[in-house]
Structure 1
């Protein structure tokens, strides 16, 4: 028992209890993209935390963690009620809770700074309690921490780059208290680290997700700091730089932290989403430059394979698939495309043959999508990277909430982050008003 007050709207259950509820079909409200090692919210989420990029001259100009009240009937429903600034702009990107959900880790890509917030004492008002500013030094040269993924008693931090600004990346482990434990470099052609290489091993990193019951971890690939901090228009005109993007996914022996196979997945595979059903041994990703859905699956012989299974859009029109969200029942997949601001929904009941069933333009640009375990509420944000967001009237910066009945998205509320002088909203996480598991 964590010892915090109880509330009627939501509560926490520990990871093993969460797994039991998932297996027995009970409804959870938490996000479907979470680590299986993390305590889950039951009931309905009370808050949405938004890790937000600061904009010079807008509010305090700093990156911040914004709390949005999503409690139905609250006088501040659908409004930002608190922001915890970190001082300065660090290219706020991704983050995640510790396994006990007491702290939220948020990463900055530009200077490799990690910010740790306490979300247990007062969940409505997260408080910055620690800053890790020696990530590059302690990791042995990794740079660009890309969020945080909960493991038992520790956090896994995928990096996007290294101290030279080039693509080779690493997985970096910390204790929940913020002490460095280990660094595991992604395999390259020159240093495969024992991995079997299908075509090439480029060493790029992005996401990392674990399927504990099969003792496997997947990592995906993006590009180095020298590319992702560049203005997108300039980057796309540089043919040589455009060759320096990830074309691989790595399958790891999770317990040994040993890369087993470097799979060929052309087109920059980004977010990874494992299926939740205990009989489903597969994960989805999308490729940003080739606009395809890919399936990584275990075949009947026990071998893991990757194959493209659906087109998301015309790659010549550069829709740029970014975030994806798989429903808790493994039946539907939301896919956001940045350039056309559209979310697309696929029926993935047969994961080898996804079928498009719905699409909706959410805004001029679109990035992250988070859906609840019960599948009834969907949240969207807009910012991709500060130098990659659109300009002028199309530089929309919002959090939008919808209900989803399986057929149609219906608006709940919209927050204009520019009008609120908050910045560029990026990654979302759901919060509970109580951390008492009872």
Structure 2
């Protein structure tokens, strides 16, 4: 692999160690959406510099040009994987633009974070029609900056149809939709996340459901039929060709977030599974290379918690229990700690994964929860709705940022009395072996967001789930 000359962006880190040692983030970008679709969604800028007079406050607000987008996952136009790119003018490529897909509208809004990173400005909108016409996809969900372009996973087929979902490729410079990435999708139909092992020429995808399966909440009949996704797919990254399907078992429903090892020579990663139809537990699986094939093993099981049916939303009353509902996981850049969000029970768990085949829980905190409604120390006595949902970790692994909204219709289904809106920060000390402490100075909630709900966080200069690295040292 050659290293291109003239790459000037200091946030393109050669290795995980370089990323960990880089200066700490001072800003966080947050995707916020209006559940009623009567106002624009927004990209918020939050001050995360503890020494700043505006620490823990929103210092920038950029409205979308449209309504009804439901911003979800978003990301950078370029990152450390740029060091693997060929065929681009690397002298001008920077981690500069944030691409914000609308999960409901299928529009993709591109915001320029220069010259004032606190106040990003709209640079372009890629409309749903272009995504459909050029790639045959809709309902964009997750994007990663990578080799040959920007990879955008999509849940639906053209015009919101039920698929198959897949990956659209966008140009790094113009943001034009280049087409569908797959050349041979094999048995893959459902889509969700996509990430890779760059040096192994392997891309991995996971499965949620088609637009009709998710847009109005969990469909109990489909869940009991094991119709949601329950497999991982492995692909030839360079060719877009399907290589292998690994089924986790049909009762392990909704295989969502993928977190590959940051070590460019590693051949393993973690996948989170929302729920088991056998006992409402959630789980985390480790995929790894075994000889010539890929395989996956369940390494974490999180059981459901018994609860009074009278305290449960209608969808859970028949079960008399709260499922953990693992909706996000995140792996630190040094591959040492794994964070697991249990959105249903309101718990964030921290695992030591120095041995990825045998994770060891070392700490947890609770905020919100369907029944627990655990409070934040900044608001003692005020029960919280929602729970740790999206989790983002700083490059040095010392700061963990949480937001509480999953997806509008699912929020309403599991928190029918209003999921609210909040963003919290947790501190940890890797040298001390972990441990979690809620930052009492940092808690945005309620009217801070002007009635919008908050979903994903991206950190200035990159974070634990934004970059892929090309070199070990």
| Mapping of residues 116-127 of structure 1, within 5 Å | 116-127=110-121
Which residue of 62, 67, 75 maps to 1:88? 67
User: Structure 2 length as normaliser, TM-score?
Assistant: 0.77
Q: Deviations over 1:6-27 (max 9, x none)?
A: xxxxxx5253xx124x3xx346
* 1:138 positional shift: 2.6
**Does 2:284 correspond to 1:293?**
yes
Shift of 1:279: 4.8
Q: 2:246, 2:294 within 8 Å by CA — same for their partners in 1?
A: no
Contact 2:421 2:449 in 1 (8 A): no
Kindly report which structure 2 residues correspond to 1:33-44, keeping only aligned pairs within 5 A, or say none: 42-44=22-24
Matched, 1:395 2:389: no
RMSD: 2.5
Question: 1:404–1:410: 8 Å Cα contact kept in structure 2?
Answer: no
Partner of 1:51: 31
SS of the equivalent of 2:106 reads coil
Q: CA deviation at 1:344?
A: 0.9
State TM-score, norm by structure 1: 0.83
User: 2: distance between equivalents of 1:240 and 1:118?
Assistant: 40
Deviates more, 1:265-274 or 1:208-217: 265-274
Q: For 1:381, which of 403, 427, 433 is the aligned residue?
A: 403
Distance 1:242 1:394 in 2: 29
Partner Cα separation in structure 1 for residue 365 and residue 133 of structure 2? 44
- Partners of 2:96 and 2:185 in 1: how far apart? 37
1:367 has 2:389 as partner:
yes
Offset, 1:407: 1.7
- Conservation of the 8 A alpha-carbon contact between 2:162 and 2:212: yes
Match of 1:180 in 2: 177
Q: Does 1:251 align with 2:234?
A: yes
Deviates more, 1:407-416 or 1:162-171: 162-171
- Residue 415 of structure 1 and its aligned partner are, at CA, apart by 0.3
Counterpart Cα distance in 1 of 2:126 and 2:19:
36
| Among 216, 228, 239, the residue aligned to 2:214 | 228
Residues 1:429 and 2:423 are matched in the alignment: no
Structure 1 residues 23-72: Cα deviation after superposition (integer angstroms, max 9, x where no partner): xx34637xxxxxxxxxxxx2010110001112449xx8321100001122
Residue 280 of structure 1 aligns to a residue whose secondary structure is: coil
Deviation at residue 173 of structure 1 after TM alignment: 0.2
Aligned equivalents of 2:216, 2:363: Cα separation in 1: 34
Q: Structure 1 277/73 Cα, relative in aligned 2: closer, same or farther at 3 Å? A: same
Question: Kindly tell me: are residues 417 and 96 of structure 1, through their superposed partners in 2, closer, same or farther at Cα, counting changes over 3 Å?
Answer: farther
Check conservation: 2:142, 2:152, Cα contact below 8 A. Answer: yes
| Structure 1 segment 31-430 matched on structure 2, within 5 A | 42-56=22-36, 61-86=39-64, 87-99=66-78, 100-133=94-127, 134-152=129-147, 154-163=149-158, 165-176=161-172, 177-185=174-182, 193=184, 195=186, 201=187, 203-232=189-218, 235-236=219-220, 238-239=221-222, 243-266=226-249, 267-290=253-276, 291-299=282-290, 301-314=291-304, 317-364=322-369, 365=386, 366-390=388-412, 391=415, 395-405=419-429, 406-411=434-439, 412-430=441-459
- List runs of 5+ in structure 1 lacking aligned partners: 4-11, 30-41, 187-192, 196-200, 434-438
Contact 1:285 1:294 in 2 (8 A): yes
Aligned residues of 1:276 and 1:329 also touching (Cα < 8 A): yes
SS in 1 for 2:132: helix
Query: Residue in 1 aligned with 2:14?
Result: 19
Distance between the aligned counterparts of 1:118 and 1:44, measured in 2? 21
Q: Secondary structure of the equivalent of 1:388? A: helix
Distance in 1, matches of 2:145 and 2:427, equals: 28
Equivalent residues of 2:135, 2:177 under 8 A apart: no
Structure 2 alignment gaps of length 5 or more: 1-5, 79-93, 277-281, 306-320, 370-385, 463-473
TM-superposed deviation, 1:417: 4.3
Give 1:28's aligned residue.
20
Name the SS of the counterpart of 1:148 in structure 2.
strand
Contact 1:101–1:120 at 8 Å: present in 2 too? Answer: no
State how many pairs are aligned: 391
CA contact (8 A) 1:112 1:135 kept: no
What is the Cα deviation at residue 430 of structure 1? 0.8
RCO greater where, 1 or 2, for CA within 8 Å and sep 6 or more?
1
